[in-house]
């Protein structure tokens, strides 16, 4: 009986020692930031260029300017799309409706479960007013997704 009690106590100590190591190995969240000028959207997907590893959650934070002044997006809706070109055209693989808009900043979190397919992806951030009568592209950029740190 005494050996069983000692064995149970030893198991508890092992769990307490291993648990912090397991928590430390959690996949990190990577931040991607940019400041984009909406007067310089060219259609060439050059507003930003990011490299993502598909096993990591990504956070995106973009500030928007209209020339030298920041844009006030209060009351407007913002969309964030990821997709890739293929023989049949552009296929949207991710359209996030859970976007945080704070005056001139847009924040989006892309979890690993919503990661676009590996390769060269195109991203568009767009805005529309509450009556859906006006839509405008705020930024267009490229995001290369890899399954490894070494593309």
As its CATH architecture, domain 29-146 has Sandwich (2.60)
pLDDT digits (tens, 9 = 90+) for 31-69: 899 999 999 999 999 999 999 888 888 889 999 999 889
Residue 4: CB atoms within 10 Å: 8
Tell me what the pLDDT averaged over the chain comes to: 78
Label residue 148 left, alpha or beta by phi (over 0 means left) and psi (-120 to 50 means alpha): beta
Going by pLDDT thresholds of 50, 70 and 90, the confidence category of residue 74 is confident
Sign of the alpha-carbon dihedral angle for 55, 57, 61, 62: positive
**In terms of DSSP H, where are the helices of the chain?**
2-24
Q: How far apart are CA 121 and CA 52, in angstroms?
A: 10
pLDDT of residue 75: 82
* Residues 97/107, Cβ–Cβ less than 8 Å: no
pLDDT digits (tens, 9 = 90+) for 8-18: 565 566 655 55
| Domain ranges (residues) in the chain | 29-146
pLDDT of residue 45: 94
Instruction: Name which of 16-25, 31-40, 108-117 the model is least confident about.
Output: 16-25
The pLDDT of 113-120, averaged and rounded, is: 80
Contacts with 40 (C-beta within 8 Å, 6 or more apart), sequence order: 47
The pLDDT of 132-144, averaged and rounded, is: 87
132 vs 104, higher pLDDT: 104
From residue 55, how far is each of 23, 30, 58, 113 by CA, in Å? 16, 11, 9, 9
pLDDT of residue 108: 85
Residues of the chain above pLDDT 70, percent: 70
Kind of pairing between the strands at 57-66 and 29-37: parallel
Q: How far apart are CA 43 and CA 129, in angstroms?
A: 21
Residues of the chain above pLDDT 90, percent: 21
């Amino acid at each position: 009986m005494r050996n069983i009690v000692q064995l149970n106590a030893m198991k508890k100590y092992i769990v307490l020692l291993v648990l912090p190591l397991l928590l430390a190995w959690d996949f990190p969240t990577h931040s991607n930031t940019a400041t984009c000028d909406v007067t310089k959207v060219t259609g060439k997907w050059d507003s930003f260029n990011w490299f993502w590893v598909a096993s990591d959650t990504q956070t995106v934070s973009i500030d928007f300017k209209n020339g030298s002044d920041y844009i006030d997006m209060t009351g407007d809706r913002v969309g964030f799309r990821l997709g890739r070109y293929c023989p049949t055209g552009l296929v949207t693989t991710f359209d996030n409706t859970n976007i945080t808009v704070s005056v001139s900043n847009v924040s989006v979190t892309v979890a690993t479960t919503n990661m676009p397919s590996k390769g060269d992806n195109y991203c568009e951030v767009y805005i529309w007013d509450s009556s859906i009568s006006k839509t405008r592209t705020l930024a267009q950029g490229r995001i290369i997704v890899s399954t490894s740190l070494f593309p």
